[in-house]
């Protein structure tokens, strides 16, 4: 009997070890990828002055104020400061009882400017991010989408689509579209695989562990391009940071835990995807200037876990001057589209959602437009060995040639 029990235990141990082998190998591959990113970043090409100063931060973050989150201000501020983020765009869930946008972080804390906004619903079951927020956030769910956006624009606010897969009112006059949402992307992962990665890879490479599993949001990009054909609109990646996924044993609601493992602390979420905003030289970073830049679509989205993307540019160059991503540009003879990146990438230019031009292993790429349309750039890091359907490093807001 003892021999049989011993054999059973040995078999179980062997199975347990065998099950771990793929995750150990994934940990090894992630380590190699992290080393490749470090080597790549060490050879960065410095960005040349172009009349803009670049600021990086995140959009779409929640705390326990609006429910759905266990995150607090102290953790949020520390995460933003540790990553040297220039800004965090808060989007608290609304409450019928109090103004969550006024009670969340507003102003500069340490290195980071915080702007209190809201995630709102409309009577058409559409959902948006509103910046800055408003005491009217809860009541907006009783109004039609077009009326809500008209009201908020009249108050100087920007309105960004979140969860475009559920949007019904595509004709609405919104300012931007969240083409990638981290929480939505996380739900699409295999939880069995994710559990193994959390055990083996997350302790050393938490941001890269998740980023390398992201897939290009092709369906949302199709939705975006259809909307952008009709009128100018920007695109961004939303962190949807809640700091609320994990396990704990025993403890209380004040945060005292016997065992506490959190998979999505703010620090990790903030390091995966980011928003890079361009302000004209000499313009200080303030609540007003940042909102104006969002309205003008002067920004690009990045998977920052793949490396620091600061210095990327997409511009229209002509005898009339140089104009930035997000701008509407008059189509004249000699206009050229130019993209630059701080490390070699594969540039892919899209026109009205269709691949227009491509060049690999380059830090600069120019293309001549063949007519009016919506032109935007995706930049891929093929040297990281990611599959073809994985995420690009960078997606730009479009340039609109008229």
319 and 304 inside one domain: no
10 and 115 inside one domain: no
Answer whether 398's CB lies under 8 Å from 228's CB.
yes
360 and 245 inside one domain: no
Supply the pLDDT for residue 10: 72
CATH of residue 334's domain is 2.60.40
Supply the pLDDT for residue 360: 97
**Of all residues in the chain, what percent carry a pLDDT higher than 90?**
80
Supply the pLDDT for residue 383: 95
CATH of residue 81's domain is 3.20.20.140
Supply the pLDDT for residue 78: 98
Element (H, E) at 328: strand 328-329
Q: What is the pLDDT of residues 16-45, one digit of tens each?
A: 667 778 889 999 999 999 999 999 999 999
Answer whether 302's CB lies under 8 Å from 273's CB.
yes
**Residue 14 sits in which domain range?**
1-43
Q: What is the pLDDT of residues 213-237, one digit of tens each?
A: 999 999 999 999 999 999 999 999 9
181 and 260 inside one domain: yes
**Beta 112-121 vs 127-131: how paired, if at all?**
antiparallel
281 and 387 inside one domain: no
90 and 32 inside one domain: no
118 and 164 inside one domain: yes
6 and 83 inside one domain: no
Please work out, in degrees rounded to the nearest 5, the angle formed at the alpha carbon of residue 361 by the alpha carbons of 327 and 314: 5
> Last residue of a domain, which of 254, 282, 308?
308
Supply the pLDDT for residue 188: 87
User: For the residues 242-261, what does the mean pLDDT come to?
Assistant: 65
CB atoms within 10 A of CB 28: 12
**CA-to-CA dists, residue 305 to 272, 302, 372, angstroms:** 5, 9, 34
Of the two residues 15 and 222, the one the predictor is more confident about is: 222
- Taking 60 as the threshold, does the pLDDT of residue 248 lie above it? no
Supply the pLDDT for residue 1: 67
Q: What is the pLDDT of residues 90-139, one digit of tens each?
A: 999 999 999 999 999 999 999 999 999 999 999 999 999 999 999 999 99
With b for 16 or more beta-carbon neighbours within 10 A and e for fewer, the 347-369 pattern comes to: bbbbbbbeebbeeeeebebbbeb
Q: In which band, very low, low, confident or very high, does the pLDDT at 239 lie, cut at 50, 70 and 90? A: very high
- Taking 90 as the threshold, does the pLDDT of residue 195 lie above it? no
User: Which backbone phi and psi does 211 adopt, to 5 degrees?
Assistant: -60, -40
Supply the pLDDT for residue 106: 98
242 and 217 inside one domain: yes
This prediction has a pTM of 0.93
> Last residue of a domain, which of 308, 335, 367?
308
Domains held by the chain: number: 3
d(CA 363, CA 376): 16
Q: In which band, very low, low, confident or very high, does the pLDDT at 247 lie, cut at 50, 70 and 90? A: low
User: For the residues 140-150, what does the mean pLDDT come to?
Assistant: 98
172 and 293 inside one domain: yes
d(CA 222, CA 231): 15
368 and 321 inside one domain: yes
Q: In which band, very low, low, confident or very high, does the pLDDT at 60 lie, cut at 50, 70 and 90? A: very high
Q: What is the pLDDT of residues 289-335, one digit of tens each?
A: 999 999 999 999 999 999 999 999 999 999 889 999 999 999 988 89
Supply the pLDDT for residue 192: 78
- Taking 60 as the threshold, does the pLDDT of residue 249 lie above it? no
> Last residue of a domain, which of 308, 338, 359?
308
231 and 132 inside one domain: yes
User: Maximum CA pair distance of the chain?
Assistant: 89
């Amino acid at each position: 009997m003892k021999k049989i029990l011993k054999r059973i235990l040995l078999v179980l141990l062997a199975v347990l070890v065998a099950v771990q082998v793929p995750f150990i190998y994934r940990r090894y591959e992630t380590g190699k990828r992290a080393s490749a990113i470090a080597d790549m970043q060490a050879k960065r090409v410095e960005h040349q002055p172009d009349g803009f100063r670049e600021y990086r931060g995140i959009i779409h973050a929640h705390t326990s104020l609006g429910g759905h989150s266990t995150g607090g201000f102290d953790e949020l501020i520390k995460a933003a400061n540790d990553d040297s983020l220039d800004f965090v765009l808060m989007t608290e869930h609304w409450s019928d009882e109090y103004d969550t946008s006024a009670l969340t972080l507003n102003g500069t804390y340490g290195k980071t400017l915080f702007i209190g906004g809201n995630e709102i619903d409309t009577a058409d079951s559409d959902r948006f991010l509103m910046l800055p927020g408003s005491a009217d956030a809860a009541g907006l769910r009783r109004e039609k989408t077009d009326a809500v956006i008209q009201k908020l624009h009249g108050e100087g606010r920007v309105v960004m689509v979140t969860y475009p897969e559920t949007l019904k009112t595509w004709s609405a006059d919104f300012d931007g579209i969240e083409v990638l949402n981290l929480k939505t992307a996380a739900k699409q992962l295999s939880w069995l695989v994710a559990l193994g990665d959390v055990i083996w890879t997350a302790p050393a490479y938490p941001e890269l562990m998740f980023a390398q599993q992201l897939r290009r949001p092709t369906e949302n990009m199709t939705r975006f391009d259809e909307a952008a054909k009709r009128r100018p609109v920007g695109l961004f990646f939303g962190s949807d940071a809640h700091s609320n996924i994990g396990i704990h044993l025993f403890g209380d609601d004040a945060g005292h835990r016997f065992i506490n493992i959190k998979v999505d602390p703010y620090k990790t979420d903030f390091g995966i995807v980011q928003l890079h905003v361009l302000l004209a030289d000499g313009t200080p970073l303030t609540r007003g200037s940042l909102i104006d830049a969002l309205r003008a679509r002067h920004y690009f989205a990045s998977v920052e876990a793949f490396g620091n993307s600061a210095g990327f540019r997409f511009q229209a160059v002509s005898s009339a001057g140089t104009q930035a991503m997000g701008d509407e540009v008059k189509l004249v003879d000699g206009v050229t589209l130019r993209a630059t990146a701080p490390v070699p990438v594969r540039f892919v230019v899209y026109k009205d959602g269709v691949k227009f031009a491509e060049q690999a292993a380059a830090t600069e790429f120019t293309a001549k437009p063949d007519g009016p349309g919506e032109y935007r750039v995706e930049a891929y890091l093929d040297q990281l060995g990611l599959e073809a359907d994985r995420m690009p490093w960078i997606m730009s807001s479009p340039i609109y040639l008229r």
